[in-house]
Amino acid sequence: MLGWLERWPGTGWQERWVAVGGDQGLEWIDHLAAEDPRSEDINSLELRMGVNWLFLARVMRPAYSYFPRSKSPFLFEHAPRLISPDLFEHLAQEAAASPITCREHTLARRALVKLALHTGKEVEQLSVEDMLEFRDWANRNRKANRGLGTAWDLLRRAGVISANGSLLETTRRGGQRPISELVDSYGVRSSTIREVLIRYLEERRASLDYNSVRSLASHLVGLFWVDIETHHPGIDSLELTEDIAQAWKQRLLVVRTKNGQTRPRKTRLETLTKVRAFYLDIQEWAHTDPAWVPWAVPSPVRRGDTDGILKARQQTTARMHQRVRERLPQLLVLVETAEKHRDSQRAFLEEARQTPAGGALAHDGQRYRRVVPKQQPGGERYRGPDTVLVENIDTGIRIDVTQTEDEAFWAWGLIETLRHTGVRLEELLEITHLALNSYQLPETGELVPLLQIVPSKSNEERLLLISPELASVLATIISRLRRDHGGTVPLVARYDPHERITGPPLPHLFQRKNAHRWGVMSYNTVRRLLNDTVARTGLRNAAGETLNYTAHDFRRIFATDAVTGGLPVHIAARLLGHHSVATTQSYLAVFQEDLVRAYRSFLDSRRSVRPEAEYREPTEEEWREFQQHFQARKLELGDCGRPYGTGCQHEHACLRCPMLRVAPAQRPRLLTILQNLDDRITEAKMNGWLGEVQGLQYSLAKAKEKLANLDKAISNSTGTLTDLGIPTLRAPL
């Protein structure tokens, strides 16, 4: 190899290796082998081995692009014996004494070998910058950097690198970027316009969250000014001629993809609105701040350019309503599918665990064989002590039953929590064990469970009454987390991708194990679990397309179902965290518009006579009324779940009311009511009382629905109590 490399130009072996193009592929080895009179196959293998030994001897340093092409286990087997052998042995001991599995340690060792061979350093000399360079290369080239995060953790524990957190936490620690960096990332050429944009965004920053600031910078800098500079170089003024403005508006109509195709731009009106607001704000500020006067020029976006925004919003609302109309009737199918898949995978896992290695088992009409764990140092810890692998006997496909059961459980937990709370996705992932509270009635001692939703989009926290169904779901989640952590919910920090900040370690409920670390689920994980569940249902819309559900679909369905079930609109708005009833109204797909209009007029008239002091301490009479509300919820068949401050919406026809929570002890009473309704329907049909027949049949259908839900809740109950560990809010002294 050295004799052949010597033919190429360069002052050293590394320069000759680069001149050959050795990092770009392995075809040159085949050509070199063909020049030798010996067997081509044997010579090619010898040349590959020669290259590997040159790497191990530090004669040449391969690029990261070489490793995916060579796929030679020789390097990863011998490098730890020649490069920092003592440190590699120490890292192996650290991995064995931690939750890191043998598989994760193997991937970490391969990552360290790549770093050492590429940089030419000993492992003890690697720095944070070296590891970040490897990560950036993998991200740019869309290559998996498996093992790099574990290698980071091992080097941090060994004191090789100085870092306070994991690789993911360190890369995110940049946090929110200054306004100047946001603007400079788009490459504005004019220094004067750059200063104006920075100052404008700084003015708006106080009233916007970070995600909104980034969006505003994208519209004003990226889609507006940088586009102007690209097509009209040298421009240095906000005052644009009519030709330049019209040309920009035409370009804004479409988005050009990488392959040269075009499609209509959905955010065109939003961009026009923000650009017009940019010019109008400067004109207004110029009246009080003379520094803005030189930039107070006519806006290139006229009022008529944004006339279609109202129609666009109406179309968006119509699409939202159509999504609810398509998905609300199929919600129970999705819920039942998630529940059946969870139960099926749980039974599959239990059966697979009881099957000895190499033994056969059957599940869901398929034959499987439990796979013998791959023998590595640590035995079964190559994939973790609890990992159960099976192989389909007919297809040969291997399945990690532990992972499929875990995904089935969390898909069920996500769907149930979303449909029972109507919270936003960000709010869902921020639910912690500390968010569970309860209010204890002083006279009866009854506990009313409450769920605290931390401030999100509207920056207002709120309390939701926990229904028995939701309490069962949360208890199951807490029990699962406690089972894996010695009776406690682990503390993990959540990274907010919108605000670009990492929160404090908290006992988040929606956390999963990723490699050897526990972390809060990401948005992509939630979407994937929902999509997988929908795919199992086979649900499709009228056009034959898959009926995908998003987290926000459950929020709209929750609002529609609650209001059509009798919940007042303003109460639903408070539950959803909306400032305006109009926002809640846009969520309601099947609520009558005239009824909404009439109810809103009633609210306006009622608010006109309300006292000015909205926030004050409640009087003893008001507090007594609040306590009596919970005591008055006791009914013959169970409890009434209507919110405080609302009257009965069904004239005490509790059997038909969705707010009725039937107690398990009242199941015999419910069966008696069902039999009585059957007898009354038969009697009404015999006497020709058609109007009464219709009402009785409706009551019978609702009674059967209550019985089915009650039996489902009883069957899902484990028969044991789960202490949620929630604090109690007692009456004030």
**Which residue in this structure is represented by tokens 């919003």?**
313
Buried b / exposed e over 206-225, threshold 16 CB at 10 Å, is eeeebeebbebbbbbbbbbb
Which pLDDT band holds residue 615 (cuts at 50, 70, 90)? very low
Does position 63 have pLDDT exceeding 70, yes or no?
Answer: yes
| Lowest mean pLDDT, pick from 50-54, 347-351, 658-662 | 658-662
CA atoms within 13 A on the CB side of 143: 17
How much is the mean pLDDT over the chain?
Answer: 81
Which pLDDT band holds residue 665 (cuts at 50, 70, 90)? confident
Instruction: Dump pLDDT digits (tens) for 515-556.
Output: 677 889 989 999 999 999 999 988 888 778 888 898 888 888
Tokens of 674: 């069902």
Q: What is the DSSP secondary-structure string of 137-157? A: HHHHTT---TTHHHHHHHHHH
Does position 596 have pLDDT exceeding 60, yes or no?
Answer: no
> What is the average pLDDT across 166-187?
80
The CA-atom distances, in angstroms, between 283 and each of 194, 199, 238 are 18, 14, 12
Q: In DSSP terms, which residues pair with 367 in a beta bridge? A: 362
Tokens of 146: 């498996």
Please tell me the distance from the alpha carbon of residue 354 to that of residue 346, in angstroms, as a whole number. Answer: 13
| Lowest mean pLDDT, pick from 309-313, 335-339, 521-525, 640-644 | 640-644
Which pLDDT band holds residue 650 (cuts at 50, 70, 90)? low
Instruction: Dump pLDDT digits (tens) for 463-486.
Output: 777 888 888 899 899 999 988 787
Which pLDDT band holds residue 271 (cuts at 50, 70, 90)? very high
| Lowest mean pLDDT, pick from 518-527, 579-588, 625-634 | 625-634
- CA dihedral of residues 254, 258, 261, 263 (deg, nearest 10): -30
The CA-atom distances, in angstroms, between 601 and each of 5, 48, 572 are 87, 82, 17
Handedness of CA 104, 108, 114, 117 (dihedral sign): negative
- CA dihedral of residues 136, 140, 146, 149 (deg, nearest 10): 20
pLDDT on residue 323:
84
Which pLDDT band holds residue 378 (cuts at 50, 70, 90)? very low
User: Cβ distance 637 to 667 under 8 Å?
Assistant: no
Which pLDDT band holds residue 321 (cuts at 50, 70, 90)? confident
The CA-atom distances, in angstroms, between 353 and each of 377, 385, 406 are 22, 12, 15
Eight-class DSSP state of 658: T
Does position 630 have pLDDT exceeding 70, yes or no?
Answer: no
pLDDT on residue 5:
81
User: Cβ distance 72 to 55 under 8 Å?
Assistant: no
Which pLDDT band holds residue 379 (cuts at 50, 70, 90)? very low
Beta strand spans in 261-349 (E)? 262-264
| Lowest mean pLDDT, pick from 174-183, 411-420, 456-465, 519-528 | 456-465
Burial tier of 450 (Cβ tally within 10 Å: 0-12, 13-18, 19+): middle
Please tell me the distance from the alpha carbon of residue 687 to that of residue 308, in angstroms, as a whole number. Answer: 60
pLDDT on residue 381:
42
Instruction: Dump pLDDT digits (tens) for 122-165.
Output: 999 998 888 888 888 888 877 777 788 888 888 988 888 887 77
The three-state DSSP-derived secondary structure of 164-222 is CCCHHHHHHCCCCCCHHHHHHCCCCCCHHHHHHHHHHHHHHHCCCCHHHHHHHHHHHHH
User: Cβ distance 453 to 435 under 8 Å?
Assistant: yes
Q: At a CB cut-off of 8 Å and minimum separation 6, what does 455 contact? A: 461
C-alpha radius of gyration, the chain, whole number:
33
Please tell me the distance from the alpha carbon of residue 529 to that of residue 612, in angstroms, as a whole number. Answer: 48
Please tell me the distance from the alpha carbon of residue 124 to that of residue 160, in angstroms, as a whole number. Answer: 6
Q: Amino acid identity, residue 109? A: R
Handedness of CA 498, 502, 503, 508 (dihedral sign): positive
User: Cβ distance 351 to 364 under 8 Å?
Assistant: no
Q: Alpha helices, DSSP H only, in 372-467?
A: 401-421, 425-429
Does position 613 have pLDDT exceeding 70, yes or no?
Answer: no
pLDDT on residue 376:
43
pLDDT on residue 410:
94
Chain center to CA of 673? 45
Which pLDDT band holds residue 216 (cuts at 50, 70, 90)? very high
